Amino acid sequence: MKKSTPPARLERVAVVVQHAEVFADEANDAQLFPVADRLRLSAARLAIDLEEAEMRATEVTRARAARRVALGALRRACERLDVEVEARLPAEAAATLVSWSRVSLESSVRFRLKRLSPMVRATLREVVDACQAALRAAEAAEEAALEATAAAFSARVRVVGQAHALRRQLERDKALLLSVLPPRSTAALRVRRRVVRTRRPDRLVEPAAAWQPASADVVGG
């Protein structure tokens, strides 16, 4: 199974929060109280949005794990159906249920269930019902994984964009602090050493395609 891209870049947002908190303290010490208050508020808001983005990323991990479990159950149900079909149907009839080897597991199961005649369905009712239930569970898990992925990606794009905007403000606030602090003071040295790099938002977030759940396993006919 293809490995999905792990959540990343959120640690850079956490660094921005830290920068804002440090500069807020420096501004307070320099008696730039409005600047200090604004920075503390910006840091708090960004921290809240960062926490939500991290929570959404965790939900993606859980949803994809549930999807893998559901696909495993579907695979076992499909294998049981194959065994029963081969045991109870003539070889020629069983051959009509063979699907292309590169389709997804869900597509293969849908195809086989659709091709079963009413008589075969009645004969294999228990196995067919289990297969249909497993298919519905796998489809629901797939939908949940897609929804979780979309929500997480949206939350991360939003928080990275906010962090980028705050980085630009921090550059201006750093310059302001250095303009009011004695050049050779310890405080000025601390502020000068704190590097606030401005990154383009699209450099902090992977492409949306990287967030898609890994492709479903393909099955043999």
Question: Which residues fall within 8 angstroms of residue 150, CB to CB, at 6 or more apart?
Answer: none
| pLDDT for res 60 | 95
**Whose CA is closest to 106, among 73, 63, 135?**
135
79, part of any domain: yes
Asked if residue 53 has pLDDT above 60, the reply is yes
Q: What is the mean pLDDT of the chain?
A: 83
> pLDDT digits over 12-27, tens only?
899 999 999 999 999 9
Region 43-59 average pLDDT:
95
Amino acid at residue number 90: P
CB 195 within 8 A of CB 171: no
15, part of any domain: yes
Number of structural domains (the chain) is 1
Amino acid at residue number 127: V
| pLDDT for res 216 | 45
> pLDDT digits over 94-106, tens only?
665 665 556 788 8
219, part of any domain: no
| pLDDT for res 6 | 37
Find residue 104's DSSP bridge partners.
Answer: 218
Bigger pLDDT: 48 or 105? Answer: 48
Amino acid at residue number 208: A
pLDDT band, residue 30 (cuts 50/70/90): very high
57, part of any domain: yes
**What percentage of the chain reaches a pLDDT higher than 70?**
79
Region 128-134 average pLDDT:
93
Tokens coding 101? 């080897």
Q: Which of 6-10, 43-47, 55-59, 164-168 has the lowest mean pLDDT?
A: 6-10
| pLDDT for res 198 | 60
Cα angle 124-130-134, degrees, rounded to a multiple of 5: 145
Bigger pLDDT: 212 or 14? Answer: 14
**Number of other CB atoms surrounding residue 204 within 10 Å:** 19
Alpha-carbon distance of 55 to 58, in angstroms, equals 5
Alpha-carbon distance of 33 to 28, in angstroms, equals 5
Region 42-69 average pLDDT:
95
40, part of any domain: yes
CA atoms within 13 A on the CB side of 103: 12
Alpha-carbon distance of 21 to 23, in angstroms, equals 6
Q: Which of 10-14, 25-29, 53-57, 159-163 has the lowest mean pLDDT?
A: 10-14
**Whose CA is closest to 93, among 80, 104, 101, 84?**
84
> pLDDT digits over 73-92, tens only?
999 998 888 888 777 776 66
Bigger pLDDT: 2 or 171? Answer: 171
115, part of any domain: yes
129, part of any domain: yes
| pLDDT for res 139 | 94
Question: Which residues fall within 8 angstroms of residue 46, CB to CB, at 6 or more apart?
Answer: 13, 16, 17, 20, 159, 162, 163, 166
Find residue 218's DSSP bridge partners.
Answer: 104
203, part of any domain: yes
Cα angle 34-35-41, degrees, rounded to a multiple of 5: 90
Region 56-65 average pLDDT:
95
Tokens coding 107? 């597509």
Tokens coding 6? 């792990």
Range of 124's domain? Answer: 10-211
Alpha-carbon distance of 132 to 106, in angstroms, equals 10
